[in-house]
Amino acid sequence: MKKQACSKARFCIFNFYRVILTMLKRVLLLLTILLSCFIVTVMAKSSIEKPVSFIAVSGYKKHHLLVAKFDGIVNKMNIHAGQVIDGTQLMFSIFPLDPTLTVQQEFTLSHNTLVAKTYVRQGDKVARYQKIAKLANKLDLFMVGHIHRQDTAPLFIGKPVTVSLDPDGTPFAIKGKVIAFEHSESGPNIGVRVEIDFDITNCLKDSRCVNFLKPGVLAKVSIDAGAKTTL
C-alpha cells in the first residue's frame, strides 16, 4: 500500500509540474505577443513625421543672359535693374567696331519681363560675348531654403507645403509643393537644399501677396505632419 501511495504521489507531483510548465509556456507566448504588439505600436508612432518649418528666400527659376555678339559700343541702354517691361521694347543696341556688321538690337519678346541685372552703361565699349543684361520672367518665382538632415524624412517631390509670407508681420499663407531637393555635405548649409513652387495664380488675386512677387523675399515654409517618407 505504501508503494502504491508513493507512486501515486510522485505521479501527482509530476503532473503538477507538467501543468505548471505548460502554463509557463503559454504565459511566455502571451508575453512575446504583447511585446511584439508594443514594438509595432512604438514603430508606428515613430513613423509619423513631426511638422518641419524653415525659412526660405524667393528667387527666379531661370534667367536669360544677353551678351554682345561682337566687339562694339553700347549705343543705347534703355533698361535698368529692377525694371519690369510689359510689351515689346528696345532694350539696348550695340554698334559694331567692324563696319561690315549690322547693329545689334535686342527687344523684349514677352510680358512680365524683369531686368534682373545690367552689366554695362550707355557708351561703354564691349567685347564679343560680354554680358550686357540678365532677364527673368517676373512670375517665374520659387522659394529656396535649407533644412537639417534629421528633418528630411518627410520630403519627396510633390510634397504639399504651406508658404507663409511676411513671417515677421501679419503672415498670410499660400499653398506650395516641393519641386526639388539636394543634399549638401559641406559649406555653411550642411543638410538639404529644398526648392518650393508656390501658387502664383492665386497670389495674383491677393493684393497683399502681389507685393511679395519679387526676389529676395523671406517666407516661412511648413511641411505638414503625415506619413514618413525617407529620402
In CATH, what number is assigned to the domain containing residue 148?
Answer: 2.40.30.170
Cα distance between the two ends of the chain: 79
Q: Residue 164 is part of which domain span? A: 52-60+140-223
- What pLDDT shows up at residue 228? 44
In this structure, are 123 and 170 located in the same domain? Answer: no
Mean pLDDT of the chain: 80
Cell match 510548465: residue?
21
In this structure, are 85 and 113 located in the same domain? Answer: yes
pLDDT of 42 > 50? The answer is yes
Kind of pairing, strands 84-85 and 191-198? unpaired
In this structure, are 145 and 218 located in the same domain? Answer: yes
230 within a domain of the structure (yes/no): no
Q: Which of 137, 170, 193 is the last residue of a domain?
A: 137
In this structure, are 169 and 125 located in the same domain? Answer: no
In this structure, are 176 and 204 located in the same domain? Answer: yes
Q: Which of 2-6, 30-34, 84-88, 137-141 has the lowest mean pLDDT?
A: 2-6
Residue 92, judged by CB atoms within 10 A of its CB (0-12, 13-18, 19+), counts as buried
List 13's β-bridge partners, or say none: none
Q: Which of 137, 152, 177 is the last residue of a domain?
A: 137
In this structure, are 29 and 71 located in the same domain? Answer: no
In this structure, are 147 and 212 located in the same domain? Answer: yes
In this structure, are 11 and 31 located in the same domain? Answer: yes
pLDDT of 44 > 80? The answer is no
Say which CATH number the domain at 84 has. 2.40.50.100
228 within a domain of the structure (yes/no): no
| List of residues 6+ apart from 181 with CB closer than 8 A | 152, 155, 157, 192, 193, 194, 195, 231
**Dist CA 221 CA 173 (whole Å):** 9
In this structure, are 190 and 215 located in the same domain? Answer: yes
| List of residues 6+ apart from 43 with CB closer than 8 A | none
124 within a domain of the structure (yes/no): yes
The pTM for the full model equals: 0.61
**Percentage of residues in the chain with pLDDT exceeding 90?**
28
The mean pLDDT of 94-104, rounded to a whole number, is: 95
231 within a domain of the structure (yes/no): no
Q: How many structural domains are present in the chain?
A: 3
In this structure, are 15 and 90 located in the same domain? Answer: no
Per the model's pLDDT, the better-predicted residue between 222 and 24 turns out to be: 222
The mean pLDDT of 80-92, rounded to a whole number, is: 87
Q: For the chain, state the CA radius of gyration.
A: 35
Q: Which of 102-106, 115-119, 197-201 has the lowest mean pLDDT?
A: 197-201
- What pLDDT shows up at residue 41? 62
In this structure, are 162 and 182 located in the same domain? Answer: yes
In this structure, are 56 and 157 located in the same domain? Answer: yes
